[in-house]
Amino acid sequence: MEAWFALLVGIFFTVAIYLLLSKYIIRVLLGVAILGNAVNLLIFTGGRLTRGVPPVVPEGADTLAGRAANALPQALILTAIVISFSFFAFLLVLAWRAYEDLSTDNTDEMRVAEPEEEPAQPLGY
């Protein structure tokens, strides 16, 4: 089961990186969203996958009886989901503002902060 999930995570990362390499902000945004999910899935798989085994220590014992999924990675994912969601929301608004203010979503044309044509350097004193 883990092997299939590893493959799925790999596909997620491939798609995310492909989209992140795009020049268009909207595709980059989609890439960010998929990247966040790829990481979450990766941590989830890292915490072992078992079907329907609650990680409950039986009465009188100190440790788990069988092989159960680790609950901690799921808590980590919960944190990461909240964080990546808030970042995605911020970047979505930022991209929209950038589109409104700079009237482009092509990063090649976003040269306001670093203009392409700069005046020559002062040479004399």
Assess 47 for contact with another protein (CB under 8 A).
Answer: yes
Query: Least CB distance from residue 121 to another protein, whole Å?
Result: 5
Nearest CA among 35, 21, 31, 33 for reference residue 108: 21
Q: Which of 11, 64, 71, 78 binds another protein (CB under 8 A)?
A: 64
User: CA separation (Å) from 60 to 19, 67, 71, 92?
Assistant: 52, 18, 21, 52
What dihedral do alpha carbons 9, 13, 19, 23 form, nearest 10°? 170
Residue with tokens 């966040």: 36
Query: Least CB distance from residue 28 to another protein, whole Å?
Result: 6
Site residues (vs another protein, CB under 8 A): 20, 25, 28, 32, 35-36, 39, 42-43, 46-47, 58, 61-66, 72-73, 76, 79-80, 83-84, 86-87, 90-91, 94-95, 97-98, 101-102, 107, 110-114, 118-119, 121-122, 125
